[in-house]
Structure 1
Amino acid sequence: MLLDPDAESGVAYELCQVVGRAILPYRTSAGFGTAFFFRSGDDPVGEALVTAADLVGFPDGELGLRGSVTEPDGVAPDALSDVEIVPGWSRYPGDGVAVLPTAGLHRHAGDGGWRWRVQPVPAAIAAGPEAVARLGVDVSSAFVLAHGVREDGSRPLEVAIERVVRDGEDVRITDELPTGYVGAPVFVVQADAAGEVSLYCLGLVLPGVDGHPVATFDRIDAVLPATPGDA
């Protein structure tokens, strides 16, 4: 669904309110990216941090923290090194996805005297096969929540309003995104067969040239229950 500019601005604003605290900056020697919290149910056991597989697997991986995602104020560090978190990332290069179960993140926070205060993307809005199939060759509005990279090195939370299309069996964002956006969640608005309009998290941004493939949520769902380790 292609929205008018006013509607796009409204969706972008609402996304920041609803899932803004799901989004975290990530960096390694491979570059800058974004990761996000996803929860498959009400139980924190079903919670995971998700990003692009190409970003992880390097010894210097680091997850940035914002003051708004931890409490109490001033206790959590500015960043967490991957080596501090057990279990660590599981990479699924064939799907383009990396998954970090958050049990280690919560344990590390508790040991440090602080706790997470996040808004995971809920399973209720994860795009299923029907939502993905509704995408066509005509462009639809897409919204990417990410931590970009400013000239001074800061990593603010940003929303990019983009266009997404189906390209054969693949789903693609049509334009090249700024540095730091790989791994970020992509959202769309669609009307179902009954005409009811809903928001969906389509998937996450993968590296690309002249646009970006999207790892759709059917691929992400397939690896979420897996145990740690490359696959």
Structure 2
Amino acid sequence: MPETPETPHSSDDAGSSPEAGTPEGSAAAEGSASPDAAGGREGSDAAEEAEAPETAEDAAAAAPDDAEPVNLVEAAVLEAAARVTLPFQAARADRSFATAFWYNDLVETAAGHEVIRQYLVTAESRTRYELGQFTLRDGLAAPELPADELVLPSFARKWTRLGDLGVAVMPTTDLHIHAEKRGWHWTTDEVTAGLAAQPADIAQIGAEPLPAYALGHTVEEQAGRKHPDRPQVLLPGAVTRTSDDPAAPVRWTTPLPDGFAGAPVFAAVPMDDDQIKLVCLGLLLPAIRPVAPRQAPEGAPAATTPAASATVVTFDLLRPAIHAVTPSLKRHWWQRR
């Protein structure tokens, strides 16, 4: 399975303590590629948010001539989304390992500019504890920071549950405020309107497995380290529906490593002009192992234990659910709606 470059550790000195590592303040990081303190961003430069994602062929063409041959879709995923993910866990406890990803909700397009609200998105079941810890890896912050932990008290209360989807979102405003106060800024990629799958893309998933890739952070114990390493891994697999019903749940068909709950899932889907495009289908929920069958009677063939099955919550469900929790824009009395 392809693994992205080794992940050094980067956060401010205070980020490893609950108090100092808590995002606080009232202004977001100036100059960051993320929304302002109100949670949105306006301006003509935001128009690129809705651009169609590059094709796998484009990503492969951009690779150095002496690079090792890679799968075109793998190359496209890493080109578009290597800095989308952020590993986290219950702080101090080394449990509830998961992956979150940065998502830009397109709120409005008007007068040549776009307004977005930015969130971290993950599996809700991995957010239910008081003290959370993000691992800051290489490429997510500038300038590079000397520590690798960002600890947040009141962690569970920072997340908003999206109905019964099993998904939670956290507005990123406080994370940008925290970075600005300490003299750095986030340098992430985001899943944008152009990369997030549209309903027509999701409709192409049927009972026949569709090759896909999960981009998440595994858990690797390292001698002499206080916490396990969380390297980013691009995991090949497939997605399929549980039946031919287009409303049937979408499943990830291969085993998942610990730490992949909340990871985004990518696939190349066909386009009308005989080309393909890269999309983010949605995110992975923790795999749930079905109840094992009862012991077979004596003399009968032994029954096998059913494999764990992970659900993919797709963007035809995610997009409207996230948009529903996004605050409406405040307008002056003289501005028309």
> What is the TM-score normalised by the length of structure 2?
0.61
Q: 1:33 aligns with which of 98, 105, 111?
A: 98
Contact 2:131 2:155 in 1 (8 A): no
Shift in CA distance, 54/86, structure 1 to aligned 2, threshold 3 Å: closer
- Counterpart code for 1:73: E
Q: Which has the higher helix share?
A: 1
Contact 1:53 1:93 in 2 (8 A): no
Tell me what 2:334 maps to: none
Paired residue secondary structure (2:153): helix
Q: Distance in 1 between matches of 2:188 and 2:174?
A: 15
Does 1:72 find its partner at 2:134? no
Q: 2:184 aligns with which of 101, 114, 128?
A: 114
Contact 2:262 2:284 in 1 (8 A): yes
Paired residue secondary structure (1:14): helix
- Counterpart code for 1:122: T
Shift in CA distance, 163/52, structure 1 to aligned 2, threshold 3 Å: same
Question: Could you list the per-position Cα deviations for residues 4-59 of structure 1 after superposition, in whole angstroms to 9, with x for gaps in the alignment?
Answer: xxx98221123122211111111126511100111134868421111011111311
Shift in CA distance, 180/104, structure 1 to aligned 2, threshold 3 Å: same
RMSD: 2.5
Q: Distance in 2 between matches of 1:27 and 1:224?
A: 23
Shift in CA distance, 48/80, structure 1 to aligned 2, threshold 3 Å: same
Contact 2:89 2:134 in 1 (8 A): yes
Contact 1:127 1:200 in 2 (8 A): yes
Q: Distance in 2 between matches of 1:20 and 1:94?
A: 29
Q: How many pairs align?
A: 222
Q: 2:263 aligns with which of 171, 179, 184?
A: 184
Q: Tell me the CA shift for residue 218 of structure 1.
A: 2.0
Percent of aligned positions that are identical: 33
Q: Distance in 1 between matches of 2:231 and 2:149?
A: 14
Paired residue secondary structure (1:176): coil
Q: 1:146 aligns with which of 210, 216, 236?
A: 216
Q: Distance in 1 between matches of 2:217 and 2:156?
A: 24
Q: Tell me the CA shift for residue 128 of structure 1.
A: 1.8
Q: Tell me the CA shift for residue 114 of structure 1.
A: 1.0
Does 1:24 find its partner at 2:24? no
Structure 1 unaligned spans of 5+: 1-6
Tell me what 2:160 maps to: 90
Question: Could you list the per-position Cα deviations for residues 91-130 of structure 1 after superposition, in whole angstroms to 9, with x for gaps in the alignment?
Answer: 2250111101111110111111111000111111211221
Q: Distance in 1 between matches of 2:196 and 2:120?
A: 14
Moved over 6 A (4+): 84-87
Does 1:207 find its partner at 2:286? yes
Q: Distance in 2 between matches of 1:53 and 1:106?
A: 22
- Counterpart code for 2:74: A
Q: Tell me the CA shift for residue 220 of structure 1.
A: 1.6
Q: Distance in 2 between matches of 1:8 and 1:166?
A: 28
> What is the TM-score normalised by the length of structure 1?
0.87
Question: Could you list the per-position Cα deviations for residues 149-195 of structure 1 after superposition, in whole angstroms to 9, with x for gaps in the alignment?
Answer: 11322111110000110113100011220001110000011113443
Contact 2:73 2:267 in 1 (8 A): no
Q: 2:171 aligns with which of 82, 101, 108?
A: 101
Q: 1:11 aligns with which of 73, 77, 86?
A: 73
Contact 1:24 1:63 in 2 (8 A): yes
Tell me what 2:232 maps to: 157
Rg: which structure is higher?
A: 2
Paired residue secondary structure (1:119): coil
Question: Could you list the per-position Cα deviations for residues 122-143 of structure 1 after superposition, in whole angstroms to 9, with x for gaps in the alignment?
Answer: 1112112211111111111111
Q: Distance in 2 between matches of 1:132 and 1:86?
A: 30
Contact 1:57 1:91 in 2 (8 A): no
Contact 1:173 1:212 in 2 (8 A): yes
Q: Distance in 1 between matches of 2:255 and 2:214?
A: 12
Paired residue secondary structure (1:221): helix
Q: Which has the higher strand share?
A: 1
Paired residue secondary structure (2:83): helix
- Counterpart code for 1:220: L
Contact 1:64 1:80 in 2 (8 A): yes
